[in-house]
Amino acid sequence: MSVSQAEQDTVAFTVEDGIAWVKFNRPEKRNCMSPQLNRQMMRVLDELEYRDDVGVLVLSGEGTAWSAGMDLKEYFRENEAKGLGAMRQAQRESYGWWRRLRWYQKPTIAMVNGWCFGGGYGPLFGCDLAFAAEEAQFGLSEINWGILPGGGATKIAVELMSFRNAMYHSMMGENVDGKKAAEWGLVNEAVPLANLKERVTEVANVLLQKNPVALKATKDAIRRVGEMTYENAEDYLVRAQEAANSFDNEGRKEGIKQFIDDKTYKPGLGAYDK
C-alpha cells in the first residue's frame, strides 16, 4: 500500500557523518503524535537501523516543540469514536515504535529542543541518552485534562525520578524546565538551546568511536539488569558478553593489544582505535 506524502512528511531525517538526525515534523501541531506520525516513525526507524552509514540516531523536533505528546484529536478523540479496535491499533502503533527505540541496534539520543509532554515521555525513555535545552519544558500534563499518565508514562516517571518527584510531577500537572529535568533525572544534561546541537554532536561523536557490538550489548544490559537479582544479572552479563564475542571476535582483542602490547592508548582514558 502506498503511503501518502502527508503521512511521510510527519517525520524528517538526514544522515550526516554517521549520525541520523530524525525529527518529529509537525511543528504547526507542536509535533504531537498522530497515528500517521507513529506509523511513519516506525518506517523511518526500520530504514535507518542497519544502514552502514548510521552509527548513532538523534531524535529531535522541528520548531518550538520536541513533542506535545499524543494528538488529543487524532489519536484519542477520533479513535475513541471508532471503537476499541481502533484504539488498540493506535496503541500498538505508538507503543510499537517506542519499544523499537528502547532496543534499537544503534545508540540513540533524545535532543529535547522544546515542549515535551505526556506521551512524549515514551520516546524520551526509548532513547538511551537525553539532552535538553535549558529552555525546554517537560510536563506530565495528563492530569490537566483528566487522565492518568498512561502509555508507560507512569512507569517511566518511576524509573527515572525519585518517588517524591514522580508523585509531584504526575499529580500537580506543573512543567519543569530543562535544568530541573536534568536535576530530576529525566535527561542527562541541560544546555542553552543555542548550544544543544553542538553538545549532542560531541556526545554522538564519542559514541561513534566505540565498538558498536559492545555498545548494543551495554545498552541492553543497562535496561535489563534493573529488574534482576544480583545472581541473575551476573549470569546474564556473562552470557551477553559471550554472545557479543560471536559477533565481534576481533574488536576486544584489538583493544587489549593496543593497550598491553602497542601501548597506544589507555582504556581508562579513551577508546581504542577501531
**What residues make contact with ligand ACO under the rule CB under 6 A?**
29-30, 32, 64-65, 68-73, 115, 117-119, 141-142, 151
User: Dihedral through CA 116, CA 117, CA 122, CA 125, nearest 10?
Assistant: 50
3-state SS, residue 104? coil
> Cα(134)–Cα(86) distance, rounded to whole angstroms?
38
Minimum distance of ligand ACO from residue 247's CB (angstroms): 37
> Cα(220)–Cα(54) distance, rounded to whole angstroms?
19
Minimum distance of ligand ACO from residue 167's CB (angstroms): 17
Residue closer to ligand ACO (CB basis): 124 or 129: 124
Minimum distance of ligand ACO from residue 184's CB (angstroms): 18
Nearest residue to the partner ligand ACO, using Cβ: 118
Minimum distance of ligand ACO from residue 119's CB (angstroms): 3
The strand pair at 11-16 and 19-24 is best described as antiparallel
Minimum distance of ligand ACO from residue 118's CB (angstroms): 2
Residue closer to ligand ACO (CB basis): 127 or 203: 127
Beta bridge partner(s), residue 139: 117
Residue closer to ligand ACO (CB basis): 48 or 130: 130
Grid coordinates belonging to 252: 576486544
Q: Which residues have CB under 8 Å from 61's CB, separation 6+?
A: 23, 24, 27, 31, 67, 112, 113, 114, 115
Minimum distance of ligand ACO from residue 150's CB (angstroms): 6
Sheet containing 176-177: which strands, arranged edge to edge? 65-67, 115-117, 137-139, 176-177
Residue closer to ligand ACO (CB basis): 85 or 146: 146
Residue closer to ligand ACO (CB basis): 71 or 128: 71
Sheet containing 189-191: which strands, arranged edge to edge? 11-16, 19-24, 56-61, 108-112, 129-133, 189-191
Residue closer to ligand ACO (CB basis): 37 or 240: 37
